[in-house]
Amino acid sequence: MEILKVSHLSKTYGSGEAKVEALKDVSFSLEKGEFAAVVGESGSGKSTLLNCIGGLDTPTSGSVWMDGRDLFAMSENKRTVFRRQNIGFVFQSFQLVEELNVEQNIIFPLLLDYQKPDPKRVDEILEVLGLKERRHHLPGQLSGGQQQRVAIGRALIMRPALVLADEPTGNLDSKNSQDVMDLLMKASRHYQQTILMITHNEALTANVDRVLRVRDGVLKDLGGVRA
C-alpha cells in the first residue's frame, strides 16, 4: 500500500544570478511499513526535501501525496491539522518541551489534537522506549539518547502515516546512535510504521529498506540494501 508519493518535486530559492535549485524534479514513493533513508552531502537538498514532504516548506512545483491526499492542495490550516494527525517528526536537536516531563512530552501531540491519551498506549510506548522508570523526569534530567527516544515516542504516539527523522543521531555518540536506530527499526517492523530518515552517515543505512541519494538537488533511488 502506497503511503507517500512524491511527484516531480522542485524547489528553487532566489532569482537571477542568486537562483539556487535545491530540488530538481524529484519523484519517488514509499510503501506502508517501509524504512527509507535519504543520504547526501551537506547542502545537497535533503533537508529541503524533508521539509517539503512534511509540509513545512512549499515546493516551487510538483506534488506530495500522502495516504492518497495532495498535501499542497490543502489550505495552510488544513495542512497543519493533517500534519498533526499523519506526520511525526524527529529532529536532530530533539526539540522537547523543557517544561514537560517525559510522559507529558509524549502525549503532547494528542493534546494538541484534543484527544484523550490512552494510558495503555502511553505505557506501551514508554515500555518500548525503555523509559518507563523515567516517565516523570524532565528533559534536562535525561541523556541525549534518552531525549531522542522521547522524541521518537512523541512522533509515534499519534500512529502517523509517516515519521520524518532529520539526522536523528546527529547529536548522539555511537552507542546512543545505535540505540535510536534500533528503536526506529523496531517501530518500522513492530508497528508497520513508514519512516523516512535523513542522514549523512551512510553506516546507519545498513539495515534500512531503501536508500535514496540526493546530490545537487537530484534524487537517485539506490534501492534496497537489506538482505
Partner 1 sequence: MRAERKGNMRERRMKSYLDLVPISARRRKRQSRMTRLCIVLAVFLVASIFSMADMEIQSQIRRTQMDDGDWHVMFAGPDEEQISLIESRPEVQTSARYAALNYGLDRGYEIGGKETVICGFDENFDEIMEQASIEDGHFPEGTAEAAVTQSMKRQLGVDVGDPIVLMTPEGEGIEFTVSGFSGDTSMLTSSDAFGIFVNTETYETYFADDTRGEDFALYVKFVPFCNIQKTVDDICGQTGISREAVSENTMLLTLIFQTSNTTMMQLYWAAGILSVLVAAAGILMISGSMNSNVSQRTRFFGMLRCLGADRKQIRRFVRREALSWCKSAVPAGLILSMAAVWGLCALLRYLSPMYFSTMPVFGISLPGVVFGALVGIVTVMIAAHSPAKNASKVSPLTAVSGNAGTTHAVKKAANTRHLHVETSLGIHHASGSKKNFVLMTCSFAFSIILFLSFSPAIDFMNHAVRPLQPSAADLTVSSGDGAGSLPKDLAASIEQIGSVQRVYGRSYMYGFTASVGGETIPVQLISYEKYQFDWVRDDLMEGSLEEAENGDGVLAVYYMNEGDFQTGETFELTAGDRTETVRVSGILSESLFNIQDQSAALICSESLFEELTGESGYAVIDVQFDSDVTDQDVEEIRALAGDGASVSDNRMENAENRGAYYSFALFLYGFLAVITLISVFNIINSIAMSVSGRIREYGAMRAIGMTSRQMVRMVSAEAVTYVIWGIVIGCAAGLALNYKIYDLLISIRWGDPWEFPAVELAVILAAMALSAAAAVAGPAKRIREMSVADTISAL
**DSSP of 132-198, one letter per residue?**
GGGTT--GGGS-HHHHHHHHHHHHHTT--SEEEEESTTTTS-HHHHHHHHHHHHHHHHHS--EEEEE
Residue of the chain from 18, 77, 223, 227 that contacts partner 1 (CB under 8 A): 77
* # binding residues, partner 1 (CB under 8 A): 35
Spatial separation of the C-alpha atoms in residues 58 and 61, rounded to whole Å: 9
Closest residue by Cα to residue 212 from 201, 224, 220: 220
Asked whether position 186 contacts partner 1 by CB under 8 A, the answer is no
Which residues are registered as beta bridge partners of 21?
Answer: 12
Q: Would you give the DSSP letter of residue 102?
A: H
Asked whether position 103 contacts partner 1 by CB under 8 A, the answer is yes
Asked whether position 109 contacts partner 1 by CB under 8 A, the answer is yes
Residue of the chain from 99, 124, 127, 182 that contacts partner 1 (CB under 8 A): 99
Nearest distance from C-beta of residue 51 to partner 1, angstroms: 6
Nearer to partner 1, 117 or 207 (CB): 117
Site residues, partner 1 (CB under 8 A): 47, 50-51, 54, 56-57, 76-77, 80-81, 83-85, 89, 91, 93, 95, 97-101, 103-104, 107-109, 111-114, 116, 136, 154, 166
